[in-house]
Structure 1
Amino acid sequence: MTSLSLMSCSNGGEATGGAGGSREDVSLVIASWGDPFTSATQEYLVDPFVEETGYDVTIVDAPGKYVASLEAQNQANNVEWDLLDSTSAPDAYIAYDKGLIQKMPDSVKERITEALPEDAVTDFGITWSILGYITACNADAVAACPQNTTELFDTAEFPGSRTSISTSPLVNLSLAEIASGVAPEDLTTHEIDLDRAFAKLEEFKAAGGTWWNSGDQYMQVMSTNETDMGVGYSGRAYAIAEDMTNLEIHWEEGLYNPGFWNVAEGSAHSEEAWEFIEWIATNPEAAANWGQALGYSVPNPESFDYIEPEIAETLADYPENREELANMNFEWYVTNYQEVNDRWQEFLRG
């Protein structure tokens, strides 16, 4: 456990969220992703929150292990975390389905929805660290670059090696359904036709190319010409474009992929944990500083007043980008999780 902030206030007082006891009795633990995530959360969110409240806040690194770790903590009857920083969307929906994260109190939700768009607030948290899965193409390597997801999956019209994320079946299946003719605006309630989607993905995979399992690997396979085009994180695509000047980036028919702030079920200080989430939701400048430091989008529209225009234009919630991105059907994924993941592993092995 890495303690990044242990600060208390000598004067007592009630917690804003309504918990009794003095503020120095409150100690929150946030699970995060490691640097640079952890440092940004510390500097731009935790430090100003601690200065206002006098709470103790500790950040621990647990990258990619939220669900498994919470299950282990619950089995041991020893929940160690209060808050989850940027839970991936599929994991957040699965964790809520498993009872590992809390339902947001109605009063908190009512106040937060006054600051954030309706689709940024769920029953279990707020969207955060948002990115787009978008199309990127090395224009020097091919005769013509695809301009959207449908064209990216058209391997005859747009030949060239392709890449996509190997660790997210829902992303790939959703894109394959768009390429098969499902309207992007319908995707959020669409039940994926697995046979059709996997058939489309087989065509995509047959074009060749290394599939990536981390943002660093995505940057590598694109920047070293291991692959000509493909699906990638929006922020990483723009980072590649800093050196690869002929990299084309297209948002059309891409996917909106939020993370979430959540409160762990069994937290000893859940009211104060929700207070922290409400503070984040209603402090657009703090959110902007966090997002600008990492290249991730944040949900408060007012945050864009504090973000440099050239950075804002690369973020998923920038209005022109957001309108191009489809929402995924995470509820469907939770219901069909086992079948989807079994078939996905078979697809990767094939």
Structure 2
Amino acid sequence: MDPFVAETGYEVQIVDAPGKYLASLEAQQQADNIEWDILDSTSGPDAYIAYDKGLIEKMPDDVQERILQELPETAVTDFGITWSTLGYIIACRTEAVEKCPSNTTEFFDAEKFPGSRTSIATSPMVNLSLAEIAAGVPIEELATHEIDLDRAFKTLESIKSELSTFWSSGDQNMQVFNTGEADMGISYSGRAYSVDKQGTPMNITWDEGLYNPGFYNVVAGSDHSAEAWEFVEWVATHPEAQAAWGEELGYSFPHPEAFDFVSDEVAETLADFPANRELLGVMNYDWYVENYEEVNTRWQEFTRG
């Protein structure tokens, strides 16, 4: 952020709103009072829903054309660029259990791998996708797989008595492990590694996890749309700045050359590191957009009951 500000002279104000993008954007739109210009690290499912609801802008054609000269097509959508990409992985407190799950399928086998569990509260698509993997859907088919909701919720029900807590933010994700509220769980990859570095030994497995791109998006109705897209393009074309982000926060970036500027130790913890990436499935965002209301209604019923 600082190098961009230095180059452009723009004044930038950062507002912290973890996990609340959709609700906040809808409220701002309804009040006709758009307070934000850019969304930083919008989770994949939320970004696709936001675009479908008209809450974020389509990328200008000329901006997209220039960005595609720098980034692979997989990192560029009609509404933004991938950013702060993470893996939803299985993390386990090694001192709390005799044996940690080595993949998602084993995580859903509470008989063979007993212990209290945790998962993300704010993303039903993550939980349902992982449940489908545990039910036998190959990760390479997940991106086009239409989730069988009855089967997925039945799979989730099989470990519900072990799901002692749900987390709603990255800080809470770490807290449930650091305090021992859960022995194992579905975690942001970067947060799981941070817990381990802070002194709670963790077993982290990428096998059968989920690849989740965050996105840089520009808010529909922004008074500074042109400047916002200028920032997105600046980020896309500065791999060294992307690498600095990855080193600091432990999440991945879209520019392949950015890996030239990160240490091997950090690179091996990132979702785009080849050995990790090949183990991860991709969620079917189009299916989620089409089934958004039913998915969220049933998820709320599941977490309440």
TM-score (norm 2): 0.93
CA shift, 1:51, in A, is 2.3
57-66 vs 157-166, which moves further: 57-66
1:11 matched to which residue of 2?
none
Larger radius of gyration: 1
Q: Find the residue that maps to 1:57 and give its secondary structure.
A: coil
Higher relative contact order (CA 8 A, sep 6+): 2
Does residue 108 in structure 1 map to residue 63 in structure 2? yes
Ranges in structure 2 where 5+ consecutive residues have no aligned partner: none
1:163 matched to which residue of 2?
118
CA shift, 1:146, in A, is 1.2
2:224 matched to which residue of 1?
269
Change (3 A) 1:152 1:267: same
Structural mapping, 1:1-350, within 5 Å: 45=1, 47-244=2-199, 246-350=201-305
Distance in 1, matches of 2:183 and 2:277, equals 25
CA shift, 1:224, in A, is 3.2
Identity of aligned residues (%): 69
CA deviation map 1:222-279 (0-9, x unaligned): 2333322221111111112124564211101101112111112222332332121111
| Equivalenced residues, count | 305
The answer (yes or no) to whether the contact 2:19–2:122 under 8 Å persists in 1 is no
The answer (yes or no) to whether the contact 2:19–2:168 under 8 Å persists in 1 is no
CA shift, 1:160, in A, is 2.2
Distance in 2, matches of 1:231 and 1:138, equals 12
Change (3 A) 1:277 1:142: same
Ranges in structure 1 where 5+ consecutive residues have no aligned partner: 1-44
CA shift, 1:156, in A, is 2.2
Change (3 A) 1:238 1:53: same
CA shift, 1:341, in A, is 1.1
TM-score (norm 1): 0.81
Distance in 2, matches of 1:324 and 1:53, equals 40
CA deviation map 1:48-88 (0-9, x unaligned): 12222233433334443333333333334343332222222
Change (3 A) 1:225 1:66: closer
Q: Find the residue that maps to 1:210 and give its secondary structure.
A: strand
CA deviation map 1:143-176 (0-9, x unaligned): 3221111111122222222221122111100000
CA deviation map 1:98-130 (0-9, x unaligned): 111111122221221222222211110011111
Change (3 A) 1:207 1:269: closer
Q: CA RMSD in A?
A: 1.9
Distance in 1, matches of 2:221 and 2:264, equals 41
249-258 vs 51-60, which moves further: 51-60
CA deviation map 1:274-327 (0-9, x unaligned): 121111001001111122222221111111111122112111112211111111
Change (3 A) 1:244 1:51: closer
